[in-house]
């Protein structure tokens, strides 16, 4: 069945991609780079146009980082850090503006920690 989608007031185009890296993606919009570079992080949607990014591995070890990106404002905000730094964790949306982090690894050992974050 055909479907017509109309987006009013959007500055982003359908069927294209954008990158914070210079020279990549459509140049009409540049997402702001993450404040903390890292690998093995977790991310979860926190509502329309917002994503939470948790933990990961950065240079010298695991990170307790908790940051949120808003597409509407193209900004990152730093939130309360995770009580336990870890990488290789999972994150899931638990409701609008609520995310949970699960498990992970720190100092080479698996962790059974679960935490809930309200934004």
pLDDT digits (tens, 9 = 90+) for 47-73: 999 999 999 999 889 999 999 999 999
Residue with tokens 């977790």: 42
Alpha-carbon distance values, 107 to 38, 75, 110, 113 (Å):
16, 31, 9, 14
Tell which residue, 40, 50, 35, 65, has the closest CA to residue 98.
50
Most confident of 8-22, 71-85, 102-116: 71-85
């Amino acid at each position: 069945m055909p479907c017509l989608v109309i987006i009013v007031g959007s500055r982003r185009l359908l069927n294209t991609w954008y990158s914070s890296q210079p020279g990549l993606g459509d140049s009409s919009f540049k997402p702001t780079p993450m404040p903390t570079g890292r690998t093995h992080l977790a991310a979860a949607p926190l509502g329309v146009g917002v994503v939470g990014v948790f933990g990961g591995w950065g240079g010298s070890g695991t990170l307790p980082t908790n940051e949120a990106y808003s597409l509407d404002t193209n900004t990152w905000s730093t939130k309360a850090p995770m009580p336990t730094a870890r990488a290789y964790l999972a994150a899931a949306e638990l409701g609008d503006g609520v995310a949970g982090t699960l498990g992970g690894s720190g100092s080479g050992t698996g962790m059974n920690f679960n935490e809930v974050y309200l934004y």
